Amino acid sequence: MAKKTVLVTGGAAGIGAGICLRFAEAGYNVAVFDIDAEGALRMAANLAAHGEALALTGDVANEQQVMAAIEAAMAKFGYLDTLVNNAGIEVSGTVADLAADQWDRQIAVNLRGTYLMSKYAIAKMSNGGAIVNISSVHAFVSWAGCAAYDATKSGLIGLTRAMALDHGGQGIRVNAICPGYIDTPLMDRWLATLPDREETMGQLLAVHPVGRIGTPRDVAEAALFLASEAASFISGTSLVVDGGMTTAGH
Protein backbone atom coordinates (compact mmCIF):
# COMPACT_ATOMS: atom_id res chain seq x y z
CA MET A 1 0.00 0.00 0.00
CA ALA A 2 1.28 3.45 -0.90
CA LYS A 3 1.90 5.62 2.14
CA LYS A 4 -1.23 7.51 3.17
CA THR A 5 -2.00 10.18 5.73
CA VAL A 6 -4.91 10.28 8.18
CA LEU A 7 -5.93 13.10 10.50
CA VAL A 8 -7.90 11.99 13.56
CA THR A 9 -9.71 14.50 15.75
CA GLY A 10 -10.03 13.70 19.44
CA GLY A 11 -7.12 11.35 18.88
CA ALA A 12 -5.45 11.58 22.28
CA ALA A 13 -7.62 9.07 24.15
CA GLY A 14 -10.44 6.56 23.96
CA ILE A 15 -11.86 5.69 20.56
CA GLY A 16 -9.67 8.31 18.88
CA ALA A 17 -6.49 6.80 20.32
CA GLY A 18 -7.56 3.36 19.14
CA ILE A 19 -8.14 4.72 15.64
CA CYS A 20 -4.74 6.46 15.58
CA LEU A 21 -2.95 3.28 16.62
CA ARG A 22 -4.74 1.06 14.11
CA PHE A 23 -4.07 3.40 11.19
CA ALA A 24 -0.41 3.68 12.21
CA GLU A 25 -0.14 -0.12 12.30
CA ALA A 26 -1.60 -0.17 8.78
CA GLY A 27 1.18 2.09 7.53
CA TYR A 28 -0.48 5.51 7.56
CA ASN A 29 1.14 8.76 8.58
CA VAL A 30 -1.02 9.94 11.48
CA ALA A 31 -1.87 13.50 12.53
CA VAL A 32 -3.32 13.45 16.07
CA PHE A 33 -5.55 16.50 16.64
CA ASP A 34 -6.86 17.11 20.14
CA ILE A 35 -7.73 19.96 22.48
CA ASP A 36 -5.50 18.17 25.04
CA ALA A 37 -2.01 19.24 23.96
CA GLU A 38 -0.13 16.88 26.30
CA GLY A 39 -2.36 13.98 25.32
CA ALA A 40 -1.79 14.61 21.61
CA LEU A 41 1.97 14.71 22.15
CA ARG A 42 1.92 11.45 24.13
CA MET A 43 -0.15 9.76 21.46
CA ALA A 44 2.14 10.91 18.65
CA ALA A 45 5.15 9.66 20.62
CA ASN A 46 3.47 6.28 21.10
CA LEU A 47 2.93 6.01 17.36
CA ALA A 48 6.56 6.70 16.50
CA ALA A 49 7.37 2.99 16.56
CA HIS A 50 5.04 2.51 13.59
CA GLY A 51 6.01 5.52 11.47
CA GLU A 52 5.53 9.25 11.10
CA ALA A 53 3.13 10.99 13.49
CA LEU A 54 2.31 14.60 14.25
CA ALA A 55 0.65 16.12 17.33
CA LEU A 56 -1.76 18.99 16.67
CA THR A 57 -3.54 21.04 19.32
CA GLY A 58 -6.78 22.91 18.92
CA ASP A 59 -10.54 23.09 19.25
CA VAL A 60 -12.47 21.61 16.33
CA ALA A 61 -15.12 24.29 16.81
CA ASN A 62 -12.58 27.07 16.22
CA GLU A 63 -12.22 27.82 12.51
CA GLN A 64 -8.75 29.37 12.75
CA GLN A 65 -7.41 26.48 14.78
CA VAL A 66 -8.91 23.97 12.35
CA MET A 67 -7.32 25.74 9.39
CA ALA A 68 -3.97 25.81 11.18
CA ALA A 69 -4.16 22.09 11.95
CA ILE A 70 -4.91 21.17 8.35
CA GLU A 71 -2.07 23.36 7.08
CA ALA A 72 0.34 21.86 9.63
CA ALA A 73 -0.56 18.33 8.52
CA MET A 74 -0.06 19.31 4.88
CA ALA A 75 3.30 20.95 5.67
CA LYS A 76 4.47 17.80 7.47
CA PHE A 77 3.18 15.11 5.12
CA GLY A 78 2.39 16.90 1.85
CA TYR A 79 -1.03 15.33 1.38
CA LEU A 80 -4.15 14.21 3.22
CA ASP A 81 -6.06 11.07 2.23
CA THR A 82 -8.30 10.40 5.20
CA LEU A 83 -10.10 12.41 7.87
CA VAL A 84 -11.69 10.78 10.90
CA ASN A 85 -14.05 13.17 12.68
CA ASN A 86 -14.02 11.58 16.11
CA ALA A 87 -13.91 14.57 18.50
CA GLY A 88 -17.09 14.85 20.50
CA ILE A 89 -18.55 15.70 23.88
CA GLU A 90 -21.70 14.70 25.70
CA VAL A 91 -23.71 17.26 27.61
CA SER A 92 -26.54 15.68 29.61
CA GLY A 93 -29.93 17.27 30.14
CA THR A 94 -33.40 17.76 28.74
CA VAL A 95 -34.36 20.74 26.58
CA ALA A 96 -36.11 22.12 29.68
CA ASP A 97 -33.04 22.16 31.93
CA LEU A 98 -30.13 22.56 29.49
CA ALA A 99 -28.61 26.03 29.56
CA ALA A 100 -28.36 27.65 26.14
CA ASP A 101 -24.56 27.77 26.32
CA GLN A 102 -24.47 24.02 27.06
CA TRP A 103 -26.63 23.34 24.01
CA ASP A 104 -24.46 25.62 21.87
CA ARG A 105 -21.24 23.94 22.99
CA GLN A 106 -22.61 20.49 22.20
CA ILE A 107 -23.59 21.62 18.70
CA ALA A 108 -20.27 23.45 18.26
CA VAL A 109 -18.04 20.44 18.96
CA ASN A 110 -20.08 17.58 17.51
CA LEU A 111 -21.58 19.24 14.44
CA ARG A 112 -19.74 22.48 13.72
CA GLY A 113 -16.44 20.71 14.38
CA THR A 114 -17.19 18.01 11.83
CA TYR A 115 -18.33 20.65 9.32
CA LEU A 116 -15.17 22.75 9.77
CA MET A 117 -12.74 19.84 9.67
CA SER A 118 -14.40 18.42 6.57
CA LYS A 119 -14.59 21.80 4.84
CA TYR A 120 -10.86 22.41 5.04
CA ALA A 121 -9.80 18.79 4.57
CA ILE A 122 -11.84 18.39 1.39
CA ALA A 123 -10.00 21.37 -0.09
CA LYS A 124 -6.74 19.40 0.29
CA MET A 125 -8.01 16.06 -1.05
CA SER A 126 -7.04 16.75 -4.66
CA ASN A 127 -6.65 13.04 -5.41
CA GLY A 128 -9.82 11.98 -3.62
CA GLY A 129 -10.03 10.54 -0.18
CA ALA A 130 -12.20 9.20 2.62
CA ILE A 131 -13.96 10.87 5.53
CA VAL A 132 -15.26 8.83 8.46
CA ASN A 133 -17.61 10.56 10.91
CA ILE A 134 -17.97 8.99 14.35
CA SER A 135 -21.64 9.25 15.24
CA SER A 136 -23.37 6.99 17.79
CA VAL A 137 -26.24 4.58 18.27
CA HIS A 138 -27.84 7.68 19.79
CA ALA A 139 -28.57 8.63 16.18
CA PHE A 140 -31.22 5.88 16.19
CA VAL A 141 -32.17 5.25 19.81
CA SER A 142 -32.45 7.60 22.76
CA TRP A 143 -31.97 7.61 26.50
CA ALA A 144 -33.59 10.11 28.83
CA GLY A 145 -31.64 13.32 29.40
CA CYS A 146 -29.60 13.20 26.19
CA ALA A 147 -31.43 15.78 24.08
CA ALA A 148 -28.45 17.75 22.78
CA TYR A 149 -26.24 14.69 22.30
CA ASP A 150 -28.96 12.80 20.42
CA ALA A 151 -29.59 15.82 18.20
CA THR A 152 -25.93 16.11 17.22
CA LYS A 153 -25.39 12.41 16.60
CA SER A 154 -28.53 12.24 14.45
CA GLY A 155 -27.35 15.36 12.64
CA LEU A 156 -24.07 13.67 11.80
CA ILE A 157 -25.95 10.98 9.88
CA GLY A 158 -27.66 13.58 7.72
CA LEU A 159 -24.40 15.46 7.23
CA THR A 160 -22.66 12.23 6.20
CA ARG A 161 -25.26 11.57 3.51
CA ALA A 162 -25.09 15.16 2.23
CA MET A 163 -21.30 15.16 2.04
CA ALA A 164 -21.24 11.80 0.27
CA LEU A 165 -23.63 13.16 -2.35
CA ASP A 166 -21.92 16.52 -2.75
CA HIS A 167 -18.32 15.31 -2.95
CA GLY A 168 -18.52 11.88 -4.54
CA GLY A 169 -17.65 13.45 -7.89
CA GLN A 170 -14.33 14.53 -6.39
CA GLY A 171 -13.52 10.94 -5.50
CA ILE A 172 -14.26 11.54 -1.83
CA ARG A 173 -16.23 8.90 0.05
CA VAL A 174 -17.98 9.82 3.30
CA ASN A 175 -19.35 7.33 5.82
CA ALA A 176 -20.34 7.23 9.47
CA ILE A 177 -19.73 4.78 12.29
CA CYS A 178 -22.28 4.50 15.10
CA PRO A 179 -20.65 2.92 18.16
CA GLY A 180 -22.59 1.60 21.13
CA TYR A 181 -21.07 1.11 24.59
CA ILE A 182 -17.27 1.24 24.22
CA ASP A 183 -14.77 0.66 27.02
CA THR A 184 -13.08 4.06 27.25
CA PRO A 185 -11.98 6.46 30.02
CA LEU A 186 -15.20 8.39 29.38
CA MET A 187 -17.24 5.28 30.15
CA ASP A 188 -15.14 4.64 33.26
CA ARG A 189 -15.89 8.15 34.53
CA TRP A 190 -19.60 7.58 33.94
CA LEU A 191 -19.57 4.25 35.78
CA ALA A 192 -17.76 5.87 38.69
CA THR A 193 -20.74 8.17 39.25
CA LEU A 194 -23.17 5.25 39.72
CA PRO A 195 -24.09 3.58 43.03
CA ASP A 196 -23.16 0.06 41.88
CA ARG A 197 -20.65 -0.18 39.04
CA GLU A 198 -20.69 -3.98 38.90
CA GLU A 199 -24.47 -4.19 38.77
CA THR A 200 -24.56 -1.70 35.91
CA MET A 201 -21.87 -3.60 34.01
CA GLY A 202 -23.88 -6.78 34.41
CA GLN A 203 -26.94 -5.06 33.00
CA LEU A 204 -24.93 -3.75 30.05
CA LEU A 205 -23.48 -7.16 29.24
CA ALA A 206 -26.96 -8.67 29.32
CA VAL A 207 -28.21 -6.45 26.48
CA HIS A 208 -25.30 -7.26 24.16
CA PRO A 209 -25.94 -10.43 22.14
CA VAL A 210 -22.19 -10.89 21.60
CA GLY A 211 -21.69 -11.01 25.39
CA ARG A 212 -19.34 -8.06 25.82
CA ILE A 213 -19.11 -4.32 25.38
CA GLY A 214 -16.97 -2.82 22.65
CA THR A 215 -13.34 -1.69 22.61
CA PRO A 216 -11.72 1.23 20.80
CA ARG A 217 -10.11 -1.39 18.57
CA ASP A 218 -13.54 -2.53 17.38
CA VAL A 219 -14.35 0.97 16.16
CA ALA A 220 -10.85 1.46 14.76
CA GLU A 221 -11.12 -1.66 12.59
CA ALA A 222 -14.39 -0.36 11.15
CA ALA A 223 -12.83 3.05 10.47
CA LEU A 224 -9.83 1.50 8.73
CA PHE A 225 -12.11 -0.62 6.57
CA LEU A 226 -14.24 2.35 5.52
CA ALA A 227 -11.11 4.34 4.65
CA SER A 228 -9.59 1.50 2.64
CA GLU A 229 -9.87 0.43 -0.98
CA ALA A 230 -11.86 -2.57 0.25
CA ALA A 231 -14.71 -0.08 0.80
CA SER A 232 -14.24 1.79 -2.48
CA PHE A 233 -17.93 1.35 -3.43
CA ILE A 234 -19.29 2.33 -0.01
CA SER A 235 -20.31 5.94 0.58
CA GLY A 236 -23.09 7.66 2.46
CA THR A 237 -23.71 4.74 4.78
CA SER A 238 -23.83 4.39 8.57
CA LEU A 239 -22.17 1.35 10.12
CA VAL A 240 -23.48 0.38 13.56
CA VAL A 241 -20.77 -1.09 15.81
CA ASP A 242 -22.61 -2.10 18.98
CA GLY A 243 -22.40 -5.88 19.42
CA GLY A 244 -26.01 -6.28 18.32
CA MET A 245 -27.39 -4.13 21.16
CA THR A 246 -29.77 -2.02 19.07
CA THR A 247 -30.80 -5.06 17.02
CA ALA A 248 -31.87 -6.62 20.30
CA GLY A 249 -34.09 -3.61 20.96
CA HIS A 250 -31.92 -1.73 23.45
Rg (CA), the chain: 17
Q: What is the distance of C-alpha 174 from the center of its chain?
A: 13
Q: CA distances (Å), 98 to each of 40, 42, 115, 154, 209, in order?
A: 30, 34, 23, 18, 34
Q: How far apart are CA 147 and CA 155, in angstroms?
A: 12
Among residues 152, 163, 146, 141, the alpha carbon closest in space to that of 240 is found at: 141
Q: How far apart are CA 94 and CA 86, in angstroms?
A: 24
Active site residues: 149
Could you write out the DSSP letters of every residue in 73-103? HHHHHS---EEEE-------B-TTT--HHHH
Could you write out the DSSP letters of every residue in 150-217? HHHHHHHHHHHHHHHHHHGGGTEEEEEEEE-SB-SHHHHHHHHTSS-HHHHHHHHHHT-TTSS-B-HH
- Residue 139's φ and ψ, nearest 5 degrees, are -70, -20
